[in-house]
Chain A
């Protein structure tokens, strides 16, 4: 047993030495991609990486950056936060990447943060929405090397509340949120505060638990309370059931939600008819006719034969932003790239013109998607007021 361990150790040592010696003369720009390609949230990772690959392909087809090709080192973190850290370590130590993209979820991203900070390598996530990812909650200081291209949760609720009051004219709202989920509870609190600050009334509010399937009693209560709009900041599976049960009970008021609604299964579960007169805030809409969006959707469809979802669009933006910064600075020094990223202003991204605030969160417009006969249609785009 001991001998086997010894041999394994020597073999490992040999491999890592070979790994080190071949690094020095790189004629490509190496970008580390650390995403969830298998496991429970594999769809997030795979769709994001499709977007990243498309962006890199476009840059390479146009001749690369300063004559050098961009090479993505794509590794799977198996949707496991611990694995995400070891993937990040491998990308930094063995592959010697100059920048790190991913992971998709906040939990995995938080695990990777110390590794990139120690190595002083810039990291950008396309979809980690937890505020702590870019700001250290203990000190309140922005993490120098960590960025994200998606908006955090509060702006979604702020824009949602503004849309409910101004565009839909709802003054009396009910809120139905997932009591067992931080994302849902966070949106509920911000939405409620915004509605009340704008002179609206929350006539009923109720939390459901992750196991609930029967929503009729609470919906009947909302109906009695005279709600003119119901805000459901939850994930599509619950949302679909809530809306379909509400429509059966004859509750025809608009329903409003957030990016957790974005799934083809929303329509598959609830049916197209029940979803009419429902809206949700999202990162982008593939039906947007802005030139950046239309070109991206066309290129993505040509490459993968499917319509890009928000993850794909955010992945594309994340890679495009990084490559634009590298091209602009003409440097492969991670520190120079980091500083240039922090100074990003008005970058024309698919998911909205992007400027980083002092917390490395993007300031950009949020799309309001309306469900029309089962299709997602862009209703309007609103910039968060604060």
Chain B
């Protein structure tokens, strides 16, 4: 029982990271139905900007986060304008392939610019392990931070999309681009704003990932990005609380499989669960059954 709880705690901390990244995927998908495969690389850029702000410019972590969010947003919007916007009228497959191409371009560009070494990330927030119930369970300050940030981000996103004017515009664009534009909504700006939010989320995830796992690397966004994508699909892509649920579920499954069976089987099990859920409920756990638009 003790071990089970310890493993679930391990899973929750891993899941918070997946959830944080998945929020960015789901956000962009929810508005323009595009799976932005370059999201993992935006995260990587965010992590490197965070690193340079702290290690080279000597900024504190909050300023570093802001700068990292700003630069990542800029990159995100640029990617959208250069790579995705010209394809807005073509098929979804072309955009998807472009997104994968963008992801590869940024990964390899990162390898050229930043080099192939793992860079130690400055530990600006102290790692304090809190031992609960006489040391039987351990939670660290970083885990609490990441968990809190991911919940906070989810609530913030829900608020922006559901209760603000720009959120209403986003929903309108998601529903019907042409009608929205006829109603006087600047569709290009709304989509750019979506990328600003998505990329800022990626930047926050990148800096936290660097802090949590102590290193950054040009390919650091790839695997977590892929897992987070699975999490987003699992929970219902486009649904903000779904990303959260999917992330936690994925983290806990991985921890339990690693803990009670073997690390080797954690990825196969995750994908089997994904397939089963998609067979039973194709829109994901919290996905709504919407009829195909004509």
Contacts and interface: CB of A to CB of B under 8 A. Distances in A.
Interface of A: 40, 179, 206-209, 211-214, 216-218, 220-221, 224, 237, 240-241, 244, 248-250, 265, 268-271
Nearest to A274: B127
Nearest to A176: B263
A218 B254 CA distance: 11
Nearest to B220: A213
B268 interface: no
Given A40-B116, A244-B214, A207 B264 contact: yes
10 contacts: A208-B263, A213-B213, A214-B10, A220-B3, A220-B7, A221-B259, A237-B118, A241-B215, A250-B131, A269-B118
B11 interface: yes
B263 A269 contact: no
B210 to A, nearest CB: 11
Q: Which 6 A-B pairs have CB atoms at the shortest separation, nearest pair first? A: A217-B258, A268-B120, A217-B259, A216-B10, A217-B255, A211-B223
Contact of A250 (B138, B256, B262, B263): B138
B263 A241 contact: no
A212 B213 contact: no
Nearest to A270: B214
Contacts of A217: 7, 10-11, 254-256, 258-259, 263
A209 B258 CA distance: 12
A237 B217 CA distance: 11
B5 to A, nearest CB: 10
Given A207-B264, A269-B214, A248 B118 contact: no
Contacts of B263: 179, 206-209, 212, 217-218
B131 A240 contact: no
B70 to A, nearest CB: 26
Given A206-B263, A237-B118, A214 B14 contact: yes
B129 interface: yes
A220 B6 contact: yes
Interface in B35-66: none
Contacts of B135: 250
B214 A248 contact: no
Contacts of B120: 265, 268-269
A347 B97 CA distance: 61
A248 B140 contact: yes
B228 to A, nearest CB: 13
Contacts, number: 72
Interface of B: 3, 6-7, 10-11, 13-14, 116-118, 120, 123, 127, 129, 131, 135, 138, 140, 213-215, 222-223, 254-256, 258-260, 262-264
Contacts of A211: 222-223
A207 B266 CA distance: 12
Nearest to A247: B129
B11 A248 contact: no
Given A207-B263, A237-B118, A271-B123, A216 B215 contact: no
Given A220-B6, A249-B138, A269 B215 contact: yes
Given A218-B259, A269-B215, A250 B254 contact: no
B138 A248 contact: yes
A265 B118 contact: yes
Interface centre among A216, A240, A244, A270 (most CB of B within 10 A): A216
A225 to B, nearest CB: 11
A244 B129 CA distance: 11
A106 B215 CA distance: 27
Contacts of B260: 221
Contacts of B14: 214, 216
Contacts of A269: 118, 120, 214-215
B215 A237 contact: yes
B127 A248 contact: yes
A224 B127 contact: no
Among A40, A206, A269, chain B packs the most CB atoms within 10 A around the CB of A269
A269 B118 CA distance: 9
A217 B10 CA distance: 6
Contacts of A214: 10, 14, 254-255
Contacts of A265: 117-118, 120
Contacts of A206: 262-263
Contacts of B254: 214, 217
Contacts of A249: 129, 138
Contact of A220 (B123, B222, B259): B259
Contacts of A207: 263-264
B140 A224 contact: no
Given A220-B259, A224-B3, A265-B118, 7 more contacts: A206-B263, A216-B255, A217-B11, A237-B118, A250-B135, A250-B138, A269-B118
